[in-house]
Amino acid sequence: MQPEQELQETQEAAVATTSVLIKLGQQVTDTWVLSREEETLPSTRPAIVPLALWQQHADQDDLAPWLPSDTELTPELVAELEQTALVAIDFPAFTDGRGYTLARLLRERFGYAGEVRAIGDVLIDQLYYMSRCGFDAMALRADQELEPALNALKAFSVSYQPAVDLDEPLFARRLRER
């Protein structure tokens, strides 16, 4: 096998696509490819790449970073992230809830206004809570179905606690409505 062909196959293997992307409560066509390759930029663009690789090539508008769930949001990192229109947050396992905190901090503490996308082990059961924490796009795991996912986003009609999507608790809304 020739080195160029081998490199191309490696790059193609590193690029993962998701079957379903939900953005703002609707299925949309995903124009971004997701690359898990940590050292080589994918040939297909636009691409979501690991944070360290994105930082090396942050001057390229057709790249966006994905953050591991253990990322520490320092003021320096947030200043870098403000330069991109999309930040993806990885859920390595559905039991890892650190991504919810990252999304909420990006939105509430740091005022990030771009797209915050959930990637990785994203299940239907998580979607409603992800939307409350600041995710506006969710790339479902390949075995998850669209219709149940869209229904899950409307599972609850009233929320008691404040969150990114609604900053007042239910009791305060009721007192105000009197």
pLDDT tens-digit readout, 97-112 = 999 999 999 999 999 9
CATH code: domain of residue 171: 3.20.20
pLDDT, one tens digit per residue, over 111-135 is 999 999 999 999 999 999 999 999 9
In the chain, how many domains are there? 1
SS3 content of the chain, % helix, strand, coil (to 5): 35, 20, 45
Indicate the helix (H) or strand (E) that contains 66: strand 63-67
Do residues 113 and 134 make contact, with C-beta atoms less than 8 angstroms apart? no
Do residues 18 and 30 make contact, with C-beta atoms less than 8 angstroms apart? yes
Range of the domain at 10: 3-177
Give bridge partners of residue 49 from the DSSP assignment: 65
Whole-prediction pTM value?
0.85
**Rounded CA separation 166/160 (Å):** 10
